[in-house]
Amino acid sequence: MNAPTNIQPAPGQWSEKRFGPDTRHWLPRNADNAIDHIPGEDGMPVLGNTLDQLRDYPAFANRMVAKYGRVYRNNSFGGRSVALHGPEANELVMFDRDKIFSSEQGWGPVLNLLFPRGLMLMDFEKHRADRKILSVAFKPEPMRHYAESLNEGIRDRIGQWSGKTFKFYPAIKELTLDLAATSFLGIPWGPEADKVNKAFVDMVQASIGVVRVPLPFTAMGRGAKGRAYLVDYFGKMVPERRDGTGEDMFSQICRTRDDDGNYMSVEAIVDHMNFLMMAAHDTITSSITTLVWELARNPEWQDRLREEMLAVAPAGEGVGHNSLGQLEMTEWAFKEALRLVPPVPSFPRRALKDFEYGGYRIPAGTSVGVSPAYTHMMEEHWPEPHKFDPMRFSPEVARERHKYAWVPFGGGAHMCLGLHFAYMQAKIFFHHVITTHRIVVAEGYAPEWQVLPIPRPKDGLTVSFVPL
C-alpha cells in the first residue's frame, strides 16, 4: 500500500467570494504534495492539463490510463485531483456505502455561485430530505400532465422542421428550453419565456467560464446577473403558485410540504428550480442530438424503431404517458446514445475521509473524479465499443454486465431525479420524428464533437428531416 509522506499542512483555500457564504463547512483542499505518491502529471504552470482535457477529454483519459493505470493524479481546472476509472470505481464513489464522498464539495467549486443548494450540491440527510420533497413533481399524475405538454410542443416544432435541412443542435436546444419553460414553469412561449431562457443560458455558460468571480463584462458577470433576475422572478411567483392549481413542476414543488407539514422556503424553491432547469435542458439536448446522429448514420435502426412506435401509437399523434413503457427498443437506443456520448462525461467529488483504492491511500480533502465517458468505452464490458448497438441493453445482455458499467445518470443516492422525465421526453420526441420523417445526413458527413463541459457537435450537426 502506497501512502503519503511528509505532507505539509493544507493552506486556507476557502473563499466566500469564490464559493458563496454557505460553504464555510467545506473541507479545505489538500496541500499540493498530499497526493504526490499517486502517479500522474501536473501539466503546464497554472493551467495544468486543463487545455488537453477541453481539447479531447476521452483521448486525454485514455492516454493517462495507458501510462499510469486506472488511478492517476491530475492537475486541471484550478487544482490537483485523483481520477478513478472503471465500474468498480464508479460503484465505490457513487454508491458511497461509507459516506466518504461529498457531491456538494465536488460540484460546488464549479456550480455554487450560480446554482447553490441544488440537489447535486447537497449531501446525506439534507439531500435525502429535499430529494423526497422534490420527488413529488415526478410522480405519475404530474408526469402525465408533462407528457401532454411535451407532445403538443414537440409536434408543432417538428412540423416547422419538416422537409428542411438545418443545424439540429441549436434547434433542439431552443426546443428543450421552450419545453422546460412550459412543463417545468408553466410559462407560455413568448417574450417572458425568452427572458427566462436567456438567463439560464448565461448561467450555464458562466459555470464553465475561466474567470470564477462575477466581474463586469465576463461570462461569470453575465451569469450572476442572470441568476439575480431568476431569483427575483421565481421568488415573486411562489405565493400565487402555492394558492393555485397549476400542474407544472414549479407549482407542484411550491405546494409540497415536508414531513412536519411545512412548505419549502421560497429561497430553496428558487434554488431547486434553477438547478432542475439547468440539469434538464443541457443534458437532454446533448443526448437527443447524439441519438439523432446515430440514427442518421444507422438508418436500419430508424426502420426498426418506427415499426415499434407505430404499434404503440399512430404516426404523428404522439404517445401518452401510459404507453411509454411499450417503447422498449426505443429506450435501448436512447441508452446506447447515452453510453456512446454521456452528457456528463465525469463526476467530481471531494473525499471527506481517508480511503484506499487501487493500491493507494487517498487522504481526506482530495478532489476525486470518476468518468462515465471512459467506463462506457471499456472493451471488456462493451465489445466493439464505438459501434451503435442498442441490443446491448436487452435484458438478457444487460444482466450479465457490471451494474456500474453504465452510469450516465450517476448512481446511489445522487442518481438523477429526472431520469424518467428524460426517457419520457426522448421517447415522445423520437415518436413524433421517426413515425413521420426519415433523418438524413449527407454522405461522408462526420461532425467533430466537443466533449466538455457537455457534449455537442461543433458544427451544430447538419441534418434533413425528409417527410415519409
Per residue in 200-236, pLDDT (tens digit) is 888 887 876 767 778 888 888 999 999 999 999 889 9
Residues in Cβ contact with 131 at an 8 Å cutoff, skipping those fewer than 6 apart: 119, 413, 417
With cut-offs at 50, 70 and 90, classify the pLDDT of residue 4: very low
Residues in Cβ contact with 194 at an 8 Å cutoff, skipping those fewer than 6 apart: none
Specify the pairing of strand 367-370 against strand 79-84.
Answer: parallel
Average confidence score pLDDT of the chain: 90
**Rg of the chain (C-alpha set):** 22
Helix/strand/coil percent split, the chain, to 5: 50, 10, 35
Q: Which residue has the cell 446525506?
A: 124
Confidence check: pLDDT of 8 > 50: no
What is the per-residue pLDDT for 19? Answer: 60
First to last CA, the chain: 63
With cut-offs at 50, 70 and 90, classify the pLDDT of residue 15: low
Confidence check: pLDDT of 331 > 80: yes
Rounded to an integer, what is the distance from CA 455 to the centroid of its chain?
10
With cut-offs at 50, 70 and 90, classify the pLDDT of residue 348: very high
What would the grid cell of residue 209 be?
Answer: 467560464
Domains and CATH numbers, the chain: 130-449 (1.10.630.10)
With cut-offs at 50, 70 and 90, classify the pLDDT of residue 190: confident
- Give the residue among 112, 117, 415, 121 at the shortest CA–CA distance from 265: 117
267: burial class by Cβ within 10 Å (0-12, 13-18, 19+)?
A: middle
pLDDT digits (tens, 9 = 90+) for 390-448: 999 999 999 999 999 999 999 999 999 999 999 999 999 999 999 999 999 999 999 99
